[in-house]
Structure 1
Amino acid sequence: MDGRIRVRLDVAYDGGDFSGWAAQPGRRTVAGTVTETLDRIVGPGRATGLTVAGRTDAGVHATGQVCHVDLPAEAWAELSGSLLRRLAGLLPTDVRVRAVTEVPAEFDARFSATFRRYEYRVTDAPHGADPLRRHEILAWPRPLDLAALNRAAEGLVGEHDFAAYCRRKEHATTRREITRLDWRPDGPAMFVATVQADAFCQSMVRSLVGAMLVAGDGRRAVDWPAGLLSRRERSSEVTVAPAHGLTLVAVGYPDDSAEYARQAVLTRRLRLTPQT
């Protein structure tokens, strides 16, 4: 990138009033808001190639989102010491850039990532979610059993074809590797699911949560969510859990920056391979 500098942005947002990450005409989105703000600081169209680690759906939150953008070298030289503060002054209060870092040109926020980690929060308290946290916690109307939730999660860990839990896209695979999926208590009547994988299909995490919740409240057997992995099409039996309980909390990258390009090549081969 002759004359341009690649910059990593670590981003957090309350997704409640956004129509997801991806820019959409006539809709308020996180990408659109970040781009508009960069245009005000750097100049219209001078910040290019905004790329995100994971496109979150409408209503989904983030505390650990990562994206990159390319800036003219002269603009970066002028703004590198003040860009974070300028973004804080101009962005709306429901989206924050938490860090601004120069990275090698080989860094790709999407394809260089080695994992994405999400958390989903649920309460089965009879009174529902506390008012101040209602935008980040799902109120579940039936008692949940932590042991049953974790038994349902066990069968989903590993590399599988998650077609039953995904919205299929042309020229893309639904095969993914979940490296962590478990539930923990987080205070009285509060449960938090942590799910980590190399990548996720659209709505996959919320579909997995929806399947585990009906196992956790006893309406389905604990092995039912894993049993759906034999399907090769999206299962109509799975209810997608509401967006507001989900938060992207972390994205991982190789420790050695020299591995960014190699990881990006590997990921493209895995993710952009059509289904056979």
Structure 2
Amino acid sequence: MSNQIDRPFSFRQGNSSLLVSMPHSGTVLLPEMEKRLTEAARNLPDTDWYLPELYDFLNQMDVSVIHANYSRYVIDLNRPVDDKPLYAGRTTGLFPEILFSDQAVFLEGQQFDEATKSRIKAEVWLPYHQKIGEELQRIQAQHGYAILFDAHSIAAQVPMLFDGTLPDFNFGNNDGHACPVNLMANLADIVCQSSFSHVCNGRFKGGYITRHFGQPEHHIHAIQLELSQATYLADRHQDQHQGHQPDYQLDHTKKQRVGAVLHQLIEALLAYGQSGELKLGTN
């Protein structure tokens, strides 16, 4: 590994009460890492594809945004640094060794050694989380409260993680512990008025970022959205007969449709805070 890990995240500061985090959108690998990955892992199949593009309206809304530059195969920023499991059943860890397809990430014997893991924790995981904490404190000092929206996406069908097909919008607030119940209900109501499906605190209740930073008692509120990639990626049936997986492609028609709902969700979060309820800490 090189002596320096460059730019673990990208960040833009806004002046609103909201910070949007995208911990799994990164695609950068460490030097020489690609040749240590299995063929199945080299196209980074578990990436939260195109999230910065999907939320490209955030800058115009003066929202703070942080997104990871490194792939989750370098380190998973939505796991605790001690790698304590967040969900019962099979899942991937801080340093993933299996894909969501249950295939290996690394070739045999090519996983990171402990010294490398320690460096990655210090130079990728810690700076990302420190920046979230600092920005939430800054926002709270300015507005009297802060909201964290942790943005994710995932394939609609992942048999290792859940049965059947995932709803389009999957909201999580750690079973009501990370933000007021009615804040999440407001978002769910918006999706109900669209043609998309949704669930609250279903298979995805919020990962480490939501659970750690969501502290309503301190006027810092967090909610996670796990968006089905079927809502914005092009259908992937083409090229399957050629024996390889096609690239992940953004469907611009789908993006426009789901993007309108995402824009409404962000507007609702900003309006909810301005209503004064979060400053009062009401539930």
TM-score by length of structure 2 reads 0.34
**Which of the pair has the greater relative contact order for Cα pairs under 8 Å at 6+ separation?**
1
TM-score by length of structure 1 reads 0.34
Give the structure with the higher percent strand: 1
